[in-house]
């Protein structure tokens, strides 16, 4: 039995009965686990006197996961934050539950500096070629990859062309190369024209390689602290080592949870998904189930909108601010 379907005493909630970690149950009561959702659905929404009967548990589990994912995509969009140091390979490995990024920032000297996405390519894959420019393959007929493409080599060694920002210098806003702490520029006739203003800032830039699951940064980001704010699909497998009777390395579906405010939507999503894929179900029943699911999704969006009088007041305080 999961700990989530039990009522917690104050001692359990605040101090985990003196066990480590102490904060294991903080905030847990507002969530319901995937295991409990499936159990509740099997008990309450299927049977001899219900629309559905003889359901396989694995089908309910599959649609429950899909419902949680769709809820995260459309309504909840709970932002998770991860901070890591970027190594000399200029890569930041995306979390396993990553769906989309909200903001990527450089944390330096106590300040959070938002970074700009590089709309141009800054990474590539390269095949090894012979002297006749033919692709080289091994004895198994598999193409041999180069360790780094020329584009990646230039980025890793900071020999890509970039913008020089120094208002007190005559070379301000000009493109050049930085090498060994010194800057080198092309002949400056017309060099300022064609400036890419979208990436014209002194902070590092990035581009996400979704296939490889990494964020590639410009050379200035080496050994710097990066903060990634991203949207999760809700399918992360959190360690259940803090639950009684669970081994340290145990990871399972019961660790997946959803806020209780959206519990009815998950049930309606499962019901609609099963009915719409079931034979000999009248169309009006499917349509009614679809309308119920849509209405509950709208309610979920309203609930998660989190319109608070305090936030509105903060905006209204600035309406009379003088603009110089």
Residues 199 and 69 in one domain: no
pLDDT at 162: 62
Residues 100 and 67 in one domain: no
**CB-side exposure of 41: number of CA atoms within 13 Å?**
30
Residue 128 lies in a domain: yes
pLDDT at 239: 44
pLDDT band at residue 198 using 50, 70 and 90 as cut-offs: low
Residue 320 lies in a domain: no
Residues 216 and 123 in one domain: yes
Query: Between residues 78 and 60, which one has the greater pLDDT?
Result: 60
Residues 198-204 have a mean pLDDT of 70
Enter the pTM of the model: 0.67
Instruction: Please state, rounded to an integer, the average pLDDT across all residues of the chain.
Output: 80
Residue 198 lies in a domain: yes
Can you give the length of the chain in residues? 324
Boundary (domain end) residue, out of 199, 232, 265: 232
Residues 162 and 226 in one domain: yes
Residues 47 and 93 in one domain: no
Residues 83 and 70 in one domain: no
Integer angstrom CA distances of residue 282 from 206, 272, 278: 52, 12, 10
| 228 and 208 Cβ atoms separated by less than 8 Å | no
Residues 293-302 have a mean pLDDT of 88
E strand segments, the chain: 31-33, 79-85, 91-93, 98-108, 111-114, 116-117, 162-164, 174-179, 182-185, 205-209, 214-217, 225-232, 257-259
Task: Say yes or no to pLDDT of 303 above 90.
Answer: no
* Distance in angstroms (rounded) separating the CA atoms of residues 152 and 146: 11
Residues 94 and 41 in one domain: no
pLDDT at 210: 86
Strand partners, 108: 111
User: Could you read off the pLDDT of 70-111 as tens digits, one per residue?
Assistant: 888 877 767 889 999 999 888 899 998 888 899 999 999 999
Instruction: Give percent of the chain with pLDDT exceeding 90.
Output: 26
pLDDT at 184: 64
Residue 317 lies in a domain: no
Residue 59 lies in a domain: yes
Domain that holds residue 179: 79-232
Range of lowest pLDDT (110-119, 234-243, 251-260): 234-243
CA proximity to 39, closest of 6, 61, 69: 61
pLDDT band at residue 186 using 50, 70 and 90 as cut-offs: low
For strands 205-209 and 116-117, give the pairing. Answer: parallel
* Distance in angstroms (rounded) separating the CA atoms of residues 101 and 124: 21
Helix (H) or strand (E) holding 22: none
pLDDT at 240: 43
For residue 234, give every residue at least 6 positions away whose Cβ sits within 8 Å of its Cβ, in sequence order, or none: 68, 69, 71, 72, 76, 78, 97, 256, 258
Residue 120 lies in a domain: yes
CA proximity to 106, closest of 222, 213, 230, 199: 222
Residues 35 and 132 in one domain: no
pLDDT at 242: 42
pLDDT band at residue 150 using 50, 70 and 90 as cut-offs: confident
| 216 and 122 Cβ atoms separated by less than 8 Å | yes
Residues 284-300 have a mean pLDDT of 92
Residues 122 and 63 in one domain: no
Number of domains the chain is built from: 2
Residue 311 lies in a domain: no
Residue 315 lies in a domain: no
Residues 185 and 296 in one domain: no
């Amino acid at each position: 039995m999961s700990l989530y379907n039990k009522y917690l005493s104050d001692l359990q909630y605040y101090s985990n009965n003196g066990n480590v970690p102490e904060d294991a149950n903080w905030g847990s009561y507002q969530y319901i686990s995937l295991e409990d959702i499936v159990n509740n659905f099997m008990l309450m929404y299927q049977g001899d006197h219900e629309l559905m009967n003889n359901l396989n548990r694995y089908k309910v589990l599959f649609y429950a996961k899909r419902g949680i994912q769709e809820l995260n995509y459309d309504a909840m969009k709970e932002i998770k934050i991860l901070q890591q140091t970027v190594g000399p390979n200029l890569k930041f490995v995306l979390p396993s539950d990553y769906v989309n990024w909200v903001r990527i920032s450089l944390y330096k000297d106590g300040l959070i500096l938002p970074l700009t996405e590089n709309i141009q390519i800054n990474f590539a894959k390269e095949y090894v070629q012979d002297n006749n420019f033919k692709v080289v393959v091994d004895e198994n007929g598999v193409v041999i990859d180069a360790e780094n493409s020329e584009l990646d080599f230039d980025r890793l060694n900071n020999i890509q062309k970039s913008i020089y920002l120094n208002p007190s210098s005559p070379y301000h806003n000009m493109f050049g190369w930085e090498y060994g702490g010194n800057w080198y520029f092309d002949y400056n006739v017309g060099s300022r024209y064609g400036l890419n203003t979208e990436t014209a800032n002194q902070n590092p830039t990035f581009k996400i390689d979704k296939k490889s699951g990494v964020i590639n940064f410009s050379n200035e980001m080496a050994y710097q602290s990066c903060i990634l704010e991203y949207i999760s699909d809700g399918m992360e497998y959190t360690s259940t080592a803090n639950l009684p009777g669970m081994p340290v390395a145990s990871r399972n579906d019961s660790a997946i949870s959803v806020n209780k405010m959206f519990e009815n939507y998950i049930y309606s999503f499962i019901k609609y998904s099963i009915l719409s894929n079931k034979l000999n179900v009248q169309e009006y029943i499917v349509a009614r189930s679809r309308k119920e699911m849509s209405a509950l999704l709208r309610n979920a969006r309203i609930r998660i909108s989190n319109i608070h009088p305090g936030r509105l007041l903060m905006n209204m305080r600035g309406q009379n601010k003088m603009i110089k």
